[in-house]
Amino acid sequence: MLNSNVFIEGSVMERDTFTTPIDQRYFEDYIPGVVHEFGPITVEEAEIISFANRFDPQPFHTDPEAAKKSVYGGLIASGWHTASLMMRLFVDHYLSHVSSLGSPGLDQLRWIEPVRPGDTLSVRVTVTEARRSRSKPDRGILHSYCETLNQHGKVVMTMKALNLLMCREIK
């Protein structure tokens, strides 16, 4: 670690779960270098098709027969569906229910492996940086590296998240 606010890739990570309940969590509870793991959520064929019909209507997402003839050899979830499932777990288990102020964006979203019907996903989040806002001392800026994994432990999606959180203590 460079300092207590930045996690350097390659340094030893601490695996932990939060000791503070999600409805009492503030910026100070997110510690750089700590890894949080949560899930699971199972992907159903009907959900894949329904999501894709509405938001990403490509044949390998919407039509099991056409998908068999595709490069994927079968139906796969839209990457946006995978991101939505990850977000569900992220909100349910990671983001504070009392101090989250939303997100100004994310970086480097990557879909690494296809997600298929019946896959069970989990999420591993590493807090990579946590710093107080210089212009608004009542809040902090949280950087997290998020990996979505399937039931075989294979990473299917990664992204770098940026979140704004209220601080418990104003300095």
- For 42-56, the DSSP string reads EPPHHHHHHHHHHH-
* Mean pLDDT taken over the chain: 90
Tell how strand 14-15 and strand 34-42 pair up: parallel
- Residue 97: is its pLDDT beyond 60? yes
- For the chain, the DSSP string reads --BTTBPPTTSPPEE---SS-GGG--GGG--TTEEEEEEEEEPPHHHHHHHHHHH---HHHH-HHHHHTSTTSS----HHHHHHHHHHHHHHHTS-TTTB---SEEEEEEE-S---TT-EEEEEEEEEEEEE-SS-TTEEEEEEEEEEE-TTS-EEEEEEEEEEEE-SS--
- Residue 1: is its pLDDT beyond 60? no
C-alpha span between 95 and 50 (Å, rounded): 27
Query: Domains in the chain, start-ordered, CATH in brackets?
Result: 14-43+78-166 (3.10.129.10)
Q: What is the pLDDT of residue 147?
A: 98
Q: What is the pLDDT of residue 28?
A: 94
Q: What is the pLDDT of residue 171?
A: 66
Most confident of the ranges 21-35, 71-85, 94-108: 71-85
Q: What is the pLDDT of residue 89?
A: 93
The pLDDT tens digits for 10-37 are 433 445 567 888 888 999 999 999 999 9
Mean pLDDT of 120-145: 95
Mean pLDDT of 42-70: 98
What percentage of the chain has pLDDT greater than the value 70?
89
Mean pLDDT of 39-62: 97
